[in-house]
Every structure is written in C-alpha cells, then in structure tokens.
Structure 1
Amino acid sequence: MTFSIVARCANSGQFGVAISSSSPAVAARCAWARAGVGAVSTQNITNPALGTFMLEKLADGESAADAVSSARHHDAFPQYRQLLAVDANGRSAIHSGDKALGIWTSASGKDCAAGGNLLAHDGVPAAMVKAFETSTGPLGDRLIAALEAAVAEGGEAGPIHSAGLLIVDRETWPYAELRIDWLDDGCPVAAVARAWEVYRPQANDYVTRALNPSKAPSYGVPGDE
C-alpha cells in the first residue's frame, strides 16, 4: 500500500524520507529521520515502533544493514514488514517480509534505498532510485523527483491518497515536514511537491527564527515591521 525512498545528501549531511500510499496519513506512521544519524521507513503492515527502534540502533553506531537486521529480529512479525534504512555513511539496507502485500520489491543506490508494496509493477523502486541519483539540487528536490518518478511509473496498483516529505538537518526538529494526510481527489504527491516549492525558500528562515529571532527576516505579513 506504500512506496517510499530514504536518502542522505552527501553534500549537506541532511537525511530525508519521501513516501506515498493509498492509506491515510502514511508519513505520520512510516517516515522517520534523525539529524546526524539517518533515515528509515517502516511500511507494509506497519509497526511504527520499528522507526524509532532503527534510529536508536543507528545512533548507537550500527550500520543500516545491522539496524534493519536488529529490527527484523526484534519484531514478532517480520514477515509482514518492509523496512528501509540509510545511515550516516550513506549505506542503505532493506528488508521485505514474504507476507508483504501484492507486488513488492525494492532497489538501492548511492545514498538511498527505495521500496514498495501493492505496486503497479516491480520497476517502481528502481525508477525512484534512478530519479534520485540523476536529479540535482537540495535533498528535498531530489526526494520529490523520486516520488514523481514513482507516480509516472504507475505507483501503487490503486489510487494514492496520502504523501509526505520529511527532512532533518542539524537540529533536533525537522528541517521540513510536509504532509498530505488524505486527498479524495487529485494527487497527494503533486500536493506535497507544491508545498515543498512554497516552503523551500523559507526553510532556512524558520531555522533562524528558532535559533536567533533577532536575526530573522521579516515575516512579510500585515503588521510585521
């Protein structure tokens, strides 16, 4: 019911997850990232607890492969889970249990891994990885490109209704967390892409406002001087 990509930007050190699903609020349950540590996705028949579990393992120094393996052995039902991780060195790992739904597959590339279930066909994750690797710009642009490539390849076997983009940078809070939790009509990936287009030029300003409001630029709203 989901396709996603986890990734690291070797230039900025940012980590991120981009994800979409036919289920509601997919990013709220499935997308996880921590600054300086890595990014993970826990999907299919989702156990959200595995998101924080894998991040803790990465923070303790485990590789992406070891963190995914630890999660697989920690969980009581690994055959139902699909797990993706990328670590601070750009290494990635994937687990897909044999009870994943529908057509399920995955692909890995430089600083990224993509996977999905109930897919239109088994080439969707590879298309996501290719789009991420060949696109340029900030991490958010590249993650959106991967989501858009998945949609262009057919995405899920049925209609998608939710999508999300999560990026962490240097702080303990997300650099960007943009979500479409449900759309009856229209494409949630297109909606998240538009939200990122609006948010991207302001993202650094919101960090400045948090760390040093006296140096923050104007909000550009009525009454702001």
Structure 2
Amino acid sequence: MTLSLIHVQPATGTVAALTATGGVAVGGYVHHVWRGLGACATQGLATNPWYPEGVRHALRQGHFAREALQRVVQRDDGASSRQCLVMDANGQSAVHTGHDNLPVIASELRPTAAAAGNMLANEQVVATLLRTFLALSCANPDDVWSRNAPPRYHDGYETHLPETLIEALDAALQAGGDNRGTRSAALRIESFDAAPIDLRVDWDDAPAEALRALVRRVRDPGFAAFLASLPKQ
C-alpha cells in the first residue's frame, strides 16, 4: 500500500506532498514536488521511479496534469501495475490506476488538492485523508468536497502545512491506513519564500508520530532561525 496527498497553491506557487506506506523509505521514491510547477506521486503494485522526470518535463512544456500523466503512462509497458497522481501549477489533477493494482484502491481529486492510495484497509482511508486536509486548511471544505468548489484557504495556512499534513495522515491511519500496517512516511514542501522542508521517517511502528516529532525539531527556535537565514529565490 501507498497513500499520498498532493497540494498546489496556484496563487503563491507553494507545492506540498505527503506519503505513507507499509514498506521502507517511502520518501525516497514516491512523491516529487516542484514549486511553481506542480507535483506527482508515483506508487502502486510496482512504482516507476522514472515517471517524475517525464511529468516534470511535460509540465515545464506547459501541458496540463492530464496530458503530462498520459505521456508517461503511454510509454510504460508496466502501466497496469502503476498508480500515479499528478497536479499542475493551476491545481488541476489527474490520476492513473492500473488494473493490476491490489485493492482496496481509491482516489479523490479536488481543486488544488488530491489523494490516492492502493492496498488500503478500506475505501474511507483516502477520503479521510483529503477531507481532513481540507477541513484544517480552508473555510469551505464541504463545498470543495461535495461541489468541487475552489477552496478558500485560511490566511497563513501555508505556515502550518507540515502540521496539517501530519494531522491528515494521522486521521487516515486511524481510519485504517495500509492493510499491512504503515511503517514509513514523508512530507515535502517547496515555496518561493522559504527553504524546502523535506522530512522522512524511513521505518517506524508509528510513522505519523515520528514525523510529528521531526516537525517539532524543525520548529525549534535554533533550527527555525537557520532555515530563515537560507537564501530565498
């Protein structure tokens, strides 16, 4: 199983991703984010680590998420074993789930935020992940969920994205998570006005709590001052 959420804020170019799985070192293989451009999560029965290169190239050429995803899937002889979620700079998303992936399989796509998973304990895991993220981030989560309305994000919500992503993950794991158990988790956030945040728990019996502990260390005044001192682009 792998469970992922990606988020793009078109107004600022901030991009975020969260991933968790029952295997080792999920952060090294699954999610990829590019500020001002988009994101993808490549997972499934067998992850294809070359999808991100093709997706990024297509997005840079100006293709929308659906076109970028179609390009990499069409070139892949093993696409039936893949699940891939892509979002472009406009917050539009697309998902591919091959027929060889193991159930329970689910995906939920909304403007600027989307989630997908496979080998889940139940169908509510992905919905819980995304709905919790929306509830914590925006003022109109019910409209976003039921009517695909554009989210009205809270002022300053980007500042708390690491905590929000972890709370959403925790809710999804409480809803069932991976049917094998969840052992690794990671998040990455890129923006134009701060250094990237790239946190990974490669193996732990409680990866959401371990990720939360890492965020507390990042928020420590000493390390926060170090991050704030880094060049901005």
Name the TM-score class by shorter chain. 0.7 to 0.9
CA distance in 1, matches of 2:210, 2:10: 27
Q: Does 1:164 align with 2:186?
A: yes
Kept in 2: contact 1:19–1:27 (CA 8 A): yes
Give how far 1:52 is off.
Answer: 2.1
Amino acid at match of 1:102: P
Amino acid at match of 2:108: A
Kept in 2: contact 1:30–1:51 (CA 8 A): no
Kept in 2: contact 1:85–1:92 (CA 8 A): yes
Classify 1:205/1:129 alpha carbon distance in 2 versus 1 (closer, same or farther; 3 Å): same
Kept in 2: contact 1:110–1:133 (CA 8 A): no
Unpaired stretches in structure 1, ≥5 consecutive residues:
213-225
Residue of structure 1 in register with 2:200 after alignment: 179
Amino acid at match of 1:161: R
Residue of structure 1 in register with 2:56 after alignment: 55
Classify 1:194/1:11 alpha carbon distance in 2 versus 1 (closer, same or farther; 3 Å): farther
Give how far 1:150 is off.
Answer: 1.0
Q: TM-score, normalised by structure 2?
A: 0.82
CA distance in 2, matches of 1:57, 1:142: 29
Kept in 2: contact 1:4–1:147 (CA 8 A): no
Unpaired stretches in structure 2, ≥5 consecutive residues:
138-156
Amino acid at match of 2:5: I
Give how far 1:76 is off.
Answer: 1.7
CA distance in 1, matches of 2:188, 2:108: 20
Residue of structure 1 in register with 2:170 after alignment: 148
Kept in 1: contact 2:195–2:230 (CA 8 A): no
Residue of structure 2 in register with 1:211 after alignment: 231
Residue of structure 1 in register with 2:95 after alignment: 94
Kept in 2: contact 1:5–1:19 (CA 8 A): yes
Amino acid at match of 1:152: Q
What SS does the aligned partner of 1:62 have? coil
| Cα deviation digits, residues 115-165 of structure 1 (max 9, x gap) | 111100012111111111111332323322321221121101121111000
Residue of structure 1 in register with 2:144 after alignment: none
Kept in 1: contact 2:195–2:228 (CA 8 A): no
Classify 1:103/1:36 alpha carbon distance in 2 versus 1 (closer, same or farther; 3 Å): same
Residue of structure 2 in register with 1:103 after alignment: 104
Aligned length: 209
Residue of structure 2 in register with 1:20 after alignment: 20
Amino acid at match of 2:17: V
Amino acid at match of 2:210: A
Q: Does 1:189 align with 2:208?
A: yes
**21-30 or 195-204, larger mean C-alpha shift:** 195-204
**31-40 or 200-209, larger mean C-alpha shift:** 200-209
Give how far 1:199 is off.
Answer: 1.4
CA distance in 1, matches of 2:94, 2:24: 26
Kept in 2: contact 1:114–1:128 (CA 8 A): yes
CA distance in 2, matches of 1:134, 1:78: 33
| Cα deviation digits, residues 63-82 of structure 1 (max 9, x gap) | 11111111111212111000
CA distance in 2, matches of 1:32, 1:111: 16
Q: Percent identity?
A: 29
After TM superposition, where is structure 1 displaced by more than 4 Å over at least 4 residues in a row? Answer: 200-204
Q: TM-score, normalised by structure 1?
A: 0.85
CA distance in 1, matches of 2:54, 2:218: 30
